[in-house]
Structure formats: structure tokens, C-alpha cells
Structure 1
């Protein structure tokens, strides 16, 4: 299936690693020119090399602090200068974890700055570019946890729930412009950072943090939140549905919240 990315442009925030990089690589392989935004220059340079190898006609890494409004505005100004238009914005940024009683006001502010306001600011900055394109799509990455609560990630989940609401509202307000706006909710996904953060914890239970089946076994044992397929997901599985929603081929899906969680009780 041709997703219609030929001669298109895309921005992926948080696109230097993990799910963001997998999405950016998928868009590149489909023929899009791709800009990735993240903080680390080294990771951005590696991502650009990967995107060009994947087939992107043009690729650029833009150093942006997604917790800072001015940095975000500068990042999209660079996109404007380079391309003058934007077909697809994919926003993948999120905050860290933390229990309620361990978090102060500053940490809550930081969680919403990354989990919600980074998307608000990115979309606001990108709207003139999206409106300048002949077709435009926005996809935000929220989280499975907005439907299945986990006290360990209370601020993360709250900020992602707000993001899902913003996304739905934008699908309504931007429909008249022909800009389709959707939200993807990944479940447990085995990224490099996930593996690095949890490898010792899973190893203590005799499990391998790189094995999707072992990861879901650990999730079930400790959080009683299994998925129907019995394994965790992979970044490229999130990338596939995200690429479709961000594509010209998607002509009628807007305002959707799509679960990519291996099967759950959620509608």
C-alpha cells in the first residue's frame, strides 16, 4: 500500500530514539522528508544517518528542549526555513514516572510541561506550516495507562490523559481546515530505554527484559495487567499504525484514540 508520503514533509518530536525513531524511520522508508526533534546532538546525528539510509529524500535533526516554549518555537522556525510547509506532525514526548507522595509541585509542573504543553506548543507552532501544505495530519502519542491507572506513573498518566483530550478537541476545531488529528495509545513497548531501565529488575525474576514474552510475564506478575496476545509490543508495531494515521492515505480517520496494546478490555 502506498501511503502517499512522496514529496511530503514530516516532523517527529522525540524522534531520535525508541518509538519516535521507529516512527521517523517508517516515514522515511515511505518517502517522506523527515525532521526529528530531541535534545541530544549525538542522538540526532545518528537518527539522521538512519533516516537517510531508510530512504528519506531529506532528513534533519533539530536540537529542541521540549520543556521550553522558546526552544520549541525555534525548532519549528527552522522547519519553516527549510521546507516552508509541513504535512505530518507526530508528537511522541512524555515525562517520567513517580508516585503521588514523592512528587512536589515542580515535578508536577515538569510532567505537564512535557506530557501536555510540549504538544500544545508544537502544534501551535506547526499550524501555519500544516495549513500551507496540500494535506496535513497530526498524531499524538498518549498512553495505555490513561485507561488503566497505575499509581507509579500518576503525573505521567494525568498529563497524557490531558493530551488525549486536547487531541480530540483539535480534531474538531481543525476539521474545517482538512487537518486530521488522531491519538495513539501504546501499551507496554520494548524499547532500548525500557530494556536498560528494567533489565536488572526483570533479571531478578529470572526474566529477560529484551524478550517481549518475558516482559509481559513480569507486567502480569507485578501489575496484573496482561494483554491478550501475551507479549509486549515492539516500536515498529507502534510505528506502522502511526504512519498510516499520519499519511495522505488516511483520508477519513480523525478524532480517534487508537490502542496499540496487544489486546485489552478497552474500547
Structure 2
């Protein structure tokens, strides 16, 4: 299916690894110009080379700490100069590394979870809006998480941040509708991200085996999916690419579960 992405201008925040990188790759595969924001020069160089090989005509890597408002503004100003002030697609894929029960977390850990997991999205949307409004068509796709609907006691700060992403995205879908900027959320379930694989290895489990990884998740957290394995980052990318594309012409304000099967919520 042609998603109508050829030469579209896309920013993927947190696109240097995991599900964000998978989304950037899918956009590049369909011919989009992709700029990836991340904190590491080394990671960005490798990602940009990969995107160019995949067919992105003008890939870019932009170093930015998205918890810093000035760096966010500077990063989008760089993209604006590169692409004549227009942006079709913004994907926010940054997530906090926040684990711990309610009584274990200090104030600074809560604040860090909200800063990384939610305020980064707020800052990036705010900085991108003039460019999105300037483009002929525009889409925003934000990453939430299925754990906002299936709570785990050790993820209380993480799910709080992701719940904020979901709520703000729903509001944006309403407020940006007159501009015909479509805003949607993707909520991955148990996906073999770097963080989850690292956790598995810390408890003696082969995190590279999605079936064994799901067994460990079920054992430790009681969050099984209908499918007997975890998802893979590359299974999230195509969903993001569709939501970010011109093929998606009427879906906005949706929260799309990609979780291996749980329930109809």
C-alpha cells in the first residue's frame, strides 16, 4: 500500500532506538524525509546512515535533550531551516525509564518521569505547531502505553506520565481539528524494547526470546496477552506509519492498542 509519504517531512523524537527507530525506518521505507531527535551523536550517525539506505531522501540527526525547552526550540528551528518551515509528521516516541512502587519513589523520580514521558511531548508539539500548520497536511502520533489501562504496581510513575500523554493528545485532537491536523496515540503492550530486554536479563531470562520474555512478564507482573509472546519494535512501526500518513484521512483522537490482545478498551 502506498501511504503517500514520498518526500513528506517527518520528525521522530526518540527515534534512535527501539519503537521510535522502527517508526523512523517505516517512514523512510515509504520515501519520507526523516529527522530523528536523540541525545547521542553516535547513535544518530548510525540511524541516519540506515535511513538513507532505506530510501529517505534527506535524513537528518538532531542532538537534543527534550527535557530542555531551549534545546527543543533550537532543534525545531534547525528542521525549519532545512525544510523551508514545513513539517508533515511529528512522532513522539520518548518514554521514561521509571520503575518502582508508589512508596519507593521520591519526588525527583516522579518529576523525572513526567518531564521525560509527558512534558517532552508537550514541548515538541508546541515547537512543531507553526511548521505543521504551514504544511499542506499534518499528523501527530504520540506514544502512550497499554499499561495505562492495565496497571502494574511497579510502573505507577511511568503509567502516570503516559496517561498524561493520552489525555493531552485527546485534547489536541479536538483543538487542532479546525486546522485538520490529525492527532492519534499508539499504546504498545509488552514489546521487546531495550528496557524490557534489559530487565529480563537482570532476572536471568533470555530477553531476546519473545516467548520466554512473555513467560517472565506473566510470572512477575501478571500481564499476559492473548498471544504467547511479546511484540517486537518492528511490529509497532507500520501502525505509526499509517497513522502518520495521508492514507489516514479521518482517524483522529484514537488510542490504538498494539498489545498482542488484551480486551476491547
Specify which of 114, 127, 146 is matched with residue 112 of structure 1. 114
Return the alpha-carbon distance in structure 2 between the equivalents of residues 202 and 147 of structure 1. 28
Describe how 1:1-267 pairs up with structure 2 within 5 A: 1-83=1-83, 84-96=85-97, 97-203=99-205, 208-267=206-265
**CA RMSD for the aligned pairs?**
1.1
Return the alpha-carbon distance in structure 2 between the equivalents of residues 15 and 217 of structure 1. 28
Post-superposition Cα deviations, 1:187-229, rounded to whole Å, max 9, x if no partner, equal 01113443234224143xxxx2111111111111221111011
Post-superposition Cα deviations, 1:115-146, rounded to whole Å, max 9, x if no partner, equal 11110110000000001111100000000110
SS where residue 45 of structure 2 aligns?
helix
SS where residue 261 of structure 2 aligns?
coil
SS where residue 137 of structure 1 aligns?
strand
Asked whether the equivalents of residues 200 and 216 of structure 2 are also in contact (C-alpha less than 8 Å), the reply is no
- CA shift at 1:13, angstroms? 0.4
SS where residue 103 of structure 2 aligns?
helix
Return the alpha-carbon distance in structure 2 between the equivalents of residues 173 and 261 of structure 1. 28
Return the alpha-carbon distance in structure 1 between the equivalents of residues 141 and 5 of structure 2. 15
Return the alpha-carbon distance in structure 2 between the equivalents of residues 198 and 220 of structure 1. 12
- Which ranges of structure 1 fall in alignment gaps of 5 or more residues? none
Return the alpha-carbon distance in structure 2 between the equivalents of residues 194 and 243 of structure 1. 23
Post-superposition Cα deviations, 1:125-170, rounded to whole Å, max 9, x if no partner, equal 0000001111100000000110011111111110100110000010
- Provide the TM-score with structure 2 as the length reference: 0.97
Q: Select between 212-221 and 253-262 the one with higher mean Cα deviation.
A: 212-221
Asked whether the equivalents of residues 138 and 180 of structure 1 are also in contact (C-alpha less than 8 Å), the reply is yes
Return the alpha-carbon distance in structure 1 between the equivalents of residues 18 and 7 of structure 2. 25
- Which ranges of structure 2 fall in alignment gaps of 5 or more residues? none
Asked whether the equivalents of residues 18 and 193 of structure 1 are also in contact (C-alpha less than 8 Å), the reply is no
Return the alpha-carbon distance in structure 1 between the equivalents of residues 251 and 79 of structure 2. 26
Q: Select between 188-197 and 133-142 the one with higher mean Cα deviation.
A: 188-197
Asked whether the equivalents of residues 200 and 213 of structure 2 are also in contact (C-alpha less than 8 Å), the reply is no
Return the alpha-carbon distance in structure 2 between the equivalents of residues 202 and 10 of structure 1. 39
- Provide the TM-score with structure 1 as the length reference: 0.96
Q: How many aligned residue pairs are there?
A: 263
SS where residue 100 of structure 1 aligns?
coil
Post-superposition Cα deviations, 1:211-267, rounded to whole Å, max 9, x if no partner, equal 111111111122111101111001111111110000011001100000000000242
